[in-house]
Copies of this chain bind each other. A is one copy, B any other.
Amino acid sequence: MHLNTIEIKPIGKIFTPHYTIQSIPIQPIAAEGVKGHIELLPKYVDGLKDIEGFSHIILIYYFHKIRGFELQVTPFMDTVKHGIFATRSPKRPNAMGISTVRLNSVDANILHIEDVDMLNGTPLIDIKPFFSKFDNRIDAKAGWLDARGDIPVERMISDKRFKQ
């Protein structure tokens, strides 16, 4: 199978109150009300037209402090190992994350956002509008994650396990 390497140039940075890889909310739902902002490169500002109508945006970003990957990890939500593609852990073959955050307002190239669960200074790769019709899956089944449904995700924060 022939696969070319892809070159990605980040479009900006995400600024948050999370300064170390430990103690970060593990998902936006664990970061309710936590404010941050995106600084988009000024050359892309015209691409924001009409984005303010969206209450939520999907951010694709780079886990820039993660080195290497593991094919099986013990995620924050469990005590046993799962395949990396069955988890949202950052130590992935391509260290990319997605988070759906609230969009509060836009001021030129600055987007004020809420429910931020990423490290301060995270390189941003893309912004997509969240659209219920496209993005919600109400009937989804989630294997081991469903089985851990008793865990209070809303209060979970990261530890150091993916630091090295």
Known pairs A129-B87, A132-B142; A11 contacts B93 (CB<8 A): yes
CB distance from A155 to the nearest CB of B (A): 13
Q: Contact size class for A?
A: 35 or more
A3 to B53, CA, bound (A): 28
Partner of A128, one of B54, B85, B134, B140: B85
Copies of this chain, count: 2
A57 to B39, CA, bound (A): 30
The 10 closest A-B pairs by CB, nearest first: A53-B143, A49-B83, A55-B141, A46-B71, A51-B86, A85-B127, A6-B8, A47-B71, A47-B84, A3-B10
CB distance from A29 to the nearest CB of B (A): 6
